[in-house]
Structure 1
Amino acid sequence: MAARERDEAAGERPATLSLFEGVRADGADDGDGDEGAADGAPPSGDGEDRRRRRTRRVLVWTLVALLGLLFGGAGAAYWTVDHYASSVDRIPGAFPTLPVDRQPAAVPNAGTTFLLVGLDARSDVATTGKEAKAPAWKAGAQRSDTMMLLHIAADRRSASIISLARDTLVDVPGHGKAKINAAYSWGGPSLMVETVQNLTGIRIDHIAVIDWNGFRALTDAVGGVDITVPQTIEGRGEARQWDAGTHHMDGAQALLYVRERYGLPNGDLDRSKRQQNFLRALMIQTMDAGTLGSPARLTGLLQAVGEVVSVDDRLSNTDLYELAWSLRGLRPDGVRFMNAPFGGFDSVDGQSVVLLDRAAATTLWEAVRNDRMDQYLAEHSTTSDTLGDSVR
């Protein structure tokens, strides 16, 4: 808030007002959007340039792929952004109550790191037939289906999303060796955060719990997503066949796509890449002019967010606004996806587990901790852990 007061003292409007500068209620430019044009001169550039400028004003990327959807479509003043922000549930007690010396030290000016936790069973349908959201965690009721670290660079020009396979073998405090997804079942968000902090040495700044089920509504709200399957994958058991080619998927089809693993050669490792591929496609589609220019789609998208995401109670509405504004220049090509370095499969007590490549992982965690992911990715651009254009 001190930064906001300084801006106002200097004559600048706060970020929450700047979201709507140069935008009419119908989402079009009000005529002052041609940055750099002389006063009274006609706008420079073609229609595509104008659409890009309008997109920059209308769409503010919040927390990249997933959290970017929270405020990405706030494009008209008559939509109350605070209403949508308040509809996002806050999670109390999401962080471990440990002494400072037993947690990773926060590195100043080293960006912001979120832990994203995806659940398969978070939303229930009430007996009235209306959507009803279940608690983000109930002891023993669910294991996290997906874990991702989202690191946003300090300069807000890039972001990295790193998936941790749910079967990764780790030390869970108070429980010994176990699969990482068990931590959420046993102790909820706080034990999940503690487990990931101990594994990586990275201080987690915030956590978001995401309902994969709810992504059906988000996908439908943007009109579906285009996902390319590079080669035909035959159906196996309950898994459907995916024919080679580009598929325009609605919410139900996209959910099948991200959940399947039995027809994939590397099981959960390939599934995590599918999840990343889907998020990338959803991010691109959200930025599409067809979404930005449709009040119905935009409103549906924002309404769906509250049914999908919960965040820790350290994130106030104002915090979300300010983070959103700081990410206004972030674009899809500035967001990179990868899996944590894979060290092989193993079996422990009759259960299949995933092992990390500890040496490679140590280098990665250090890059995240010190906000050097651009350098790390430049040096590891060809690794199979990094998400490429072709995803099974």
Structure 2
Amino acid sequence: MTHTESTVEERADVPAARPGRDGSGGGGSGDRGAATPSGGPKRRRARRVLLWCLAGVLLLVGGPAGYGWWRAESAADSIPRIPDALPDVPERQQPPPGDGVTFLLVGLDTRSGVPTTGDDAQAPAWRAGASRSDTMMLFHLSADREDAAVVSLARDTWVEIPGHGEAKLNAAYSWGGPALAVRTVQDLTGVRVDHLAVVDWNGFRELTDAVGGVDITVPRDIPGRGDALAHRAGTHRMNGEEALAYVRERKGLPRGDLDRTARQQNFLRALMGRVLSGETLSSPSRISGLLDSVGDVVGVDDGLSNSGLYDLAWGMRGLRTSDVRFLNAPVDGFGTRQGQSVVLLDRERAAPLWEAIREDRVTEYLATHDTDGLKDPGSVR
């Protein structure tokens, strides 16, 4: 390579000399003009190499982050937003805000309508009397984001529903939708609900399959009864269809509604462990499946923005299944009210639990109270 050629390549950003009126290099020496025919292609080649190098760097460094952000934004957009999900009552009629963040999780066996995706995604409209809630749980995340508690409320719990009198807890959603369900739980517990999440058990089928199934431990042999499936004692890897049948079962369980809530907690614990496992987090296909399924599983109140979801997810990044306590609201047995079999809440035993949630002291509560009847995985059937 001549010195002239080397100089041209190193100075590939220098524009070629303009031709003069006579067609020569114009304004430059004859040597510079003579170098133009051989230097032009090399300059273009140098530019192409530079552009490909930059593209490669952007692909390797910025690509995954950009793609991950786009996938996260797309997943957040796909989550339906529920309008007017929280009670519209004067502040003085609501419990005072507590420390940490508290969600009311409402589980339904089916959703009416099909949610749309994108910026205008909304949950299907609630219709009076269309369905009763299958599950209600209070999910409390501590202010320091180091622990959480999930407290199940039996759907047959006999409660006072504002404006309707006494009835089973799950009637609140049927009669007045999400806002009445939230208000009923707030009045019952004295715990301020910050956000609502409506969970579709049907959607968990796809979510379970997306993570490769869940490991459910059954402590003892369970005979099949009617439509109920038989289970052998031990740990079973269940796919989405099997897990859905497991959490839906009720009639074949000795304690009915109470055993069903225990199964739901058992499933959620197993699913959480599966999602947080290295096997899932290291698999792009499983992460993609999770992101694709989330909008089919849960809808949230319209006060929870995408940035709010990101902040929540970031705050929970250090949680492990051992940091999440699964409890049942204490019950005082079963009874009959207005010709219905109901669950009776033990309000005296429940009072310190609600206080612990309000004051963000659940860990202290668990250390100082007898909770054997509230959190016993061995009782899951």
TM-score of the superposed pair, with normalisation by structure 2: 0.79
Residue 318 of structure 1 pairs with residue 304 of structure 2: no
**Alignment partners' CA distance in 2, 1:115 and 1:136:** 18
Between the aligned partners of 1:80 and 1:219, the Cα distance in structure 2 is 19
SS at match of 1:306: helix
Corresponding residue pairs, total: 317
Q: Is this contact kept in 2: 1:136–1:209, CA < 8 A?
A: no
**2:92 matched residue in structure 1:** 101
Q: Name the residue aligned to 1:353.
A: 342
Contact persistence 1:25–1:77 (CA under 8 A): no
Structure 1 residues 24 and 233, CA gap change in structure 2 (3 angstroms):
farther
Secondary structure of 1:366's counterpart equals helix
Structure ranking higher in helix proportion: 2
Deviation at 1:25?
Answer: 8.8
> Deviation of residue 134 (structure 1)?
6.9
CA distance, structure 1, for counterparts of residue 175 and residue 255 of structure 2: 27
User: What secondary structure does 2:68 align onto?
Assistant: coil
Quick one: structure 1 residues 162 and 168, their matched pair in 2 at CA, closer, same or farther if it must change by over 3 Å? Answer: same
Matched, 1:112 2:111: no
Asked whether 1:137 is paired with 2:139, we answer no
* Counterpart Cα distance in 1 of 2:376 and 2:133: 22
SS of equivalent residue, structure 2 residue 110: coil
For residues 275-354 of structure 1, the aligned pairs below 5 Å read 275-354=264-343
Q: Distance in 2 between matches of 1:390 and 1:26?
A: 48
* Whole-Å separation in 1 of the counterparts to 2:163 and 2:305: 31
List alignment gaps of at least 5 residues for structure 2.
Answer: 1-59, 116-120
**Ranges in structure 1 where 5+ consecutive residues have no aligned partner:** 1-22, 28-73, 127-131
Residue 150 of structure 1 pairs with residue 142 of structure 2: no
For residue 166 of structure 1, what is the aligned residue in structure 2? 155
Letter paired with 1:331: R
CA distance in 1, matches of 2:278, 2:314: 20
The corresponding residue for 1:10 is none
Query: What is the rounded CA distance, in whole Å, between the counterparts of 1:346 and 1:26 in structure 2?
Result: 60
Taking a change above 3 Å as real, the CA distance of residues 96 and 76 of structure 1, as seen in their structure-2 partners, is same
Is the 1:95–1:189 contact (alpha carbons within 8 Å) kept by the matching residues of 2? yes
Alignment of 1:175-194 (within 5 A): 175-194=164-183
SS of 2:272's equivalent? helix
Mapped pair 1:363 → 2:356: no
Aligned mates of 2:83, 2:197 — CA distance in 1: 12
State the alpha-carbon separation in 1 of the partners of residues 179 and 69 from structure 2.
38
SS of equivalent residue, structure 2 residue 229: coil
Partner residue in 1 for 2:262: 273
Q: CA deviation at 1:251?
A: 0.3
Partners of 1:234 and 1:75 in 2: CA distance:
51
Pair 1:152–1:221, CA change in 2 (3 A): same
Instruction: For 1:293 and 1:26, locate their aligned partners in 2 and report how far apart those are by CA, in whole Å.
Output: 18
2:198 aligned with 1:209: yes
- SS at 2:182 equivalent: helix
CA-CA distance at 1:139 after TM superposition = 1.3
The answer to whether the 8 A contact 2:81-2:122 is kept is no
Residues 139, 122 of structure 1: alpha-carbon distance in 2 compared, 3 angstrom cutoff: same
CA deviations over 1:295-324 (Å, ceiling 9, x no partner)? 111111111110111000111111111122
**Cα separation, 2, equivalents of 1:206 and 1:199:** 17
Instruction: Tell me the residue number matched to 2:361.
Output: 372
Matches of 1:75 and 1:240 in 2, distance apart?
Answer: 45
TM-score, length basis structure 1? 0.77
Report if aligned partners of 1:367, 1:373 keep a CA contact under 8 Å in 2: yes
Structure 2 counterpart of 1:158, one-letter code = D
User: Which residue of structure 1 lines up, in the alignment, with residue 80 of structure 2?
Assistant: 89
Higher CA-based Rg: 2
Q: Is the contact made by 2:172 and 2:184 (CA closer than 8 Å) also made in structure 1?
A: yes
SS, match of residue 376 in structure 1:
helix
CA–CA separation in structure 1 for the residues paired with 2:201 and 2:236 = 20
AA matched with 1:362: A
Cα separation, 2, equivalents of 1:133 and 1:237: 38
Identity of aligned residues (%): 62
Cα deviations by residue, 1:107-131 (Å, 9 ceiling, x for unpaired): 3xx11100000001215679xxxxx
SS of residue paired to 1:307: helix
Structure 2 counterpart of 1:53? none
Distance (Å, rounded) in 1 between the aligned partners of 2:241 and 2:122: 19
User: Equivalent residues in 2 for 1:212-251 (5 A)?
Assistant: 212-251=201-240
Distance 2:123 2:302 in 1: 17
Deviation at 1:328, TM superposition (A): 1.9
Residue 75 of structure 1 deviates from its aligned partner by 11
